[in-house]
Amino acid sequence: MSEINRTSAWSALKAHAEEVGKRHLREMFHDAPDRFQTFRREAAGLTLDLSKQRWEQDTVDRLLELAEQAEVPEAIRRLLAGEKVNISEDRPALHTALRLPEDASLVVEGEDLVPGVHATLARMDAMVERFLSGQWRGATGKPIRDVVNLGVGGSDLGPLMVTNALVDRRPDASHPVEVHFASTMDGSQLAEYLARFNPETTLFVLSSKSFTTIDTLSNATTARDWLLARLNGVSREEGVDRSLVMRQHFIGISASPDKMAEWGISSDHQLEFWEWVGGRYSLWGGIGLPIALVIGMDGFRELLAGAHAMDRHFQTAPLADNLPVMLALAGIWNNNFLDIRAHSILPYDGRLEYFAAYLEQLEMESNGKSVTNKGEAVEYSTCPVLWGQLGPNAQHAFYQLLHQGTQAVECDFIAPLSRYDDVTDSATRAHLMSQHRLTLANCFAQSRVLMLGDDAIDDEGPRPGHMRYRGNQPSTTLLLERLTPATLGALIALYEHKVFVQATIWGINPFDQWGVELGKKIANETRDIIEKREGVEAMDASTRGLIEAAWRTSDQ
């Protein structure tokens, strides 16, 4: 394939954008009242409304041609077949293998990966069962109550986001555990837990694909010494020795069993995963243990099944009906042809509080690249700046900019259609269902105002400039029938595949992240200078000034 911006489809879209770019969404709706039917797509319990994108059927046809010229169908086949799509690291990207059903098979380089995947799920199952039945006991014999996940990035955001989204799906258990997350290297989250939790009933899950991440290891060391200092010799007559504490209070999840063992995680409390699972794509296996502890293993399997349903759809649906492909094309259209380089994620459901944070890593760490797979500088923009917040809260924060700022922003509105109909108390149910309708009304109203601008209101009188809304802001609305493990699994897989399709069109590798490495190296060098108080003279003036300020403070 030649560079995508040298294809005939790209040139045709450039010319087409000159025309369509002049049109306002309100005219498009006026001219084609059936836009919702035309641009709605459904799969795996999700409805995607792309009618508020600033495009027409012609545009979509041209974008589909672009996808063909970028060889998207072949790329999908290669991804799902386990070919080495992660070019710079010379390996496949097989997060989809983690959600294959047990009776499937996926042979990569002569080995069927499915039995190993399900063996890990079976080990997770046994661990979850031990916790939820009160059989996982701390070193002094008390059942574990608090589980703290120590991890960062992909070893934190996926489990954090999903456990929050599905916290109301807790199964009945004789000993439910509370799951907590500590990610920051400054220890602020951890310090708060250490001040509150009982060491006898607290267990730490060390989640780190590489098992070298300083953020996680520094939290882990603090946690280990806290446990050892408090549990040695506590309560049991025979005393508590170090190896028992290490064994009963730590689980490790990593692609590096050697490093886990070296750190002191006992081999039967390790969950291993594979190099072919990227960190930000890893919640579907061992890294998902905190999720399984909250929603139970049945719930976790439902999550996998939902993602698998989206994988099957991605694999088999024609491009024009394929949700991840269509979502990706909307982004390409905005970014590369309408020059809209900001993208906001706006869930209208408090349970999706961390969804935007999760997508920030998924999208920007995957596609925040400026060099093609051939090692050349890209000549077009790739991943937009993507950020978000719960929609109802963002309405009172940054929607001002969405409606009246100088910067155009593409928005994704996300909401479940049904909620609260299972609340047992009828008066509370009525209130909460009414709150849900209020939330949906706000969600739909915001995308309408963004689209129509002033035309969304009836009064025609002239209004001063500061009260005008220009409208014509593109958005996508994604509806879930309801928020369940299955629909959430499908939603996450939808975005994973969208990212892959966009990367394919841009000709970049979404599965590496070299852009984070230099910062880690320089941070280590800077740390040495701060600790040893040597070498500051080699720093630039700003960094030197900052380091000296830190020294002065610690000297006081």
Query: Residues with catalytic annotation?
Result: 365, 396, 520
Q: Which of residues 216-235 bind ligand F6P (CB under 6 A)?
A: 216
Instruction: Select 349 or 365, whichever has its Cβ closest to ligand F6P.
Output: 365
Q: Which of residues 365-424 bind ligand F6P (CB under 6 A)?
A: 365
Q: Which of residues 477-516 bind ligand F6P (CB under 6 A)?
A: 513, 516
Residue 245 CA to residue 456 CA, distance in Å, equals: 63
Instruction: Select 155 or 389, whichever has its Cβ closest to ligand F6P.
Output: 155
CB of 547 to ligand F6P, least distance (A): 23
Window of 148-156, 352-360, 396-404, 418-426 that interacts with ligand F6P by CB under 6 A = 148-156
CB of 367 to ligand F6P, least distance (A): 13
CB of 553 to ligand F6P, least distance (A): 28
User: Of the candidates 210, 235, 243, 400, which one interacts with ligand F6P according to CB under 6 A?
Assistant: 210
Question: If binding is defined by CB under 6 A, does position 38 make contact with ligand F6P?
Answer: no
User: Of the candidates 54, 62, 280, 419, which one interacts with ligand F6P according to CB under 6 A?
Assistant: 280
Instruction: Select 149 or 344, whichever has its Cβ closest to ligand F6P.
Output: 149
User: Of the candidates 140, 201, 202, 208, which one interacts with ligand F6P according to CB under 6 A?
Assistant: 208
> x/- contact string, 234-253, with ligand F6P (CB under 6 A)?
--------------------
Question: If binding is defined by CB under 6 A, does position 288 make contact with ligand F6P?
Answer: no
Residue from 308, 311, 314 nearest 118 by CA: 308
Q: Which of residues 65-124 bind ligand F6P (CB under 6 A)?
A: none
User: Of the candidates 209, 224, 403, 436, which one interacts with ligand F6P according to CB under 6 A?
Assistant: 209
Residue 444 CA to residue 440 CA, distance in Å, equals: 6
Residue 249 CA to residue 540 CA, distance in Å, equals: 44
CA-angle at 537, arms to 533 and 538, nearest 5°: 110
Window of 33-41, 204-212, 438-446, 482-490 that interacts with ligand F6P by CB under 6 A = 204-212
Residue 489 CA to residue 309 CA, distance in Å, equals: 9
Q: Identify the helix (H) or strand (E) that includes residue 241.
A: none
Q: Strand, coil or helix: what is 216?
A: helix
Token pair for 63:
């974008």
Q: Strand, coil or helix: what is 38?
A: helix
CB of 494 to ligand F6P, least distance (A): 20
CB of 549 to ligand F6P, least distance (A): 27
Residue 431: CB atoms within 10 A of its CB come to: 13
Question: If binding is defined by CB under 6 A, does position 522 make contact with ligand F6P?
Answer: no
Residue 101 CA to residue 194 CA, distance in Å, equals: 40
Instruction: Select 81 or 185, whichever has its Cβ closest to ligand F6P.
Output: 185
Q: Any idea which residue has 């070019």 for tokens?
A: 87
* Residue type, position 330, single letter: A
CB of 247 to ligand F6P, least distance (A): 22
Q: How many residues does the chain have?
A: 556
Name every residue whose Cβ is closer than 8 Å to that of residue 432 and which is 6 or more positions away in sequence: 419, 420, 423
* Residue type, position 500, single letter: F
Instruction: Select 149 or 389, whichever has its Cβ closest to ligand F6P.
Output: 149
Instruction: Select 255 or 479, whichever has its Cβ closest to ligand F6P.
Output: 255
Instruction: Select 11 or 210, whichever has its Cβ closest to ligand F6P.
Output: 210
Instruction: Select 279 or 416, whichever has its Cβ closest to ligand F6P.
Output: 279
SS3 content of the chain, % helix, strand, coil (to 5): 55, 10, 35
Residue 95 CA to residue 498 CA, distance in Å, equals: 14
CB of 279 to ligand F6P, least distance (A): 3
Instruction: Select 258 or 422, whichever has its Cβ closest to ligand F6P.
Output: 258
Question: If binding is defined by CB under 6 A, does position 279 make contact with ligand F6P?
Answer: yes
CB of 153 to ligand F6P, least distance (A): 3
* Residue type, position 72, single letter: V
113-119: long-range contacts at Cβ-Cβ below 8 A with a sequence spacing of 24 or more? 113/82, 113/274, 116/274, 117/285
CB of 512 to ligand F6P, least distance (A): 9
> x/- contact string, 149-178, with ligand F6P (CB under 6 A)?
---xxxx-----------------------
* Total residues interacting with ligand F6P, rule: CB under 6 A: 14
For residues 326 and 48, the answer to whether their CB atoms sit within 8 Å is yes
Q: Any idea which residue has 């593409």 for tokens?
A: 410
| 250-254/342-347 β-pairing | unpaired
Residue 119 CA to residue 121 CA, distance in Å, equals: 5
Residue from 540, 403, 522 nearest 473 by CA: 403
Residue 279 C-beta-side C-alpha neighbours within 13 Å:
23
User: Of the candidates 213, 322, 366, 439, which one interacts with ligand F6P according to CB under 6 A?
Assistant: 213
For residues 187 and 219, the answer to whether their CB atoms sit within 8 Å is yes
Binding site for ligand F6P (CB under 6 A): 152-155, 208-210, 213, 216, 279-280, 365, 513, 516
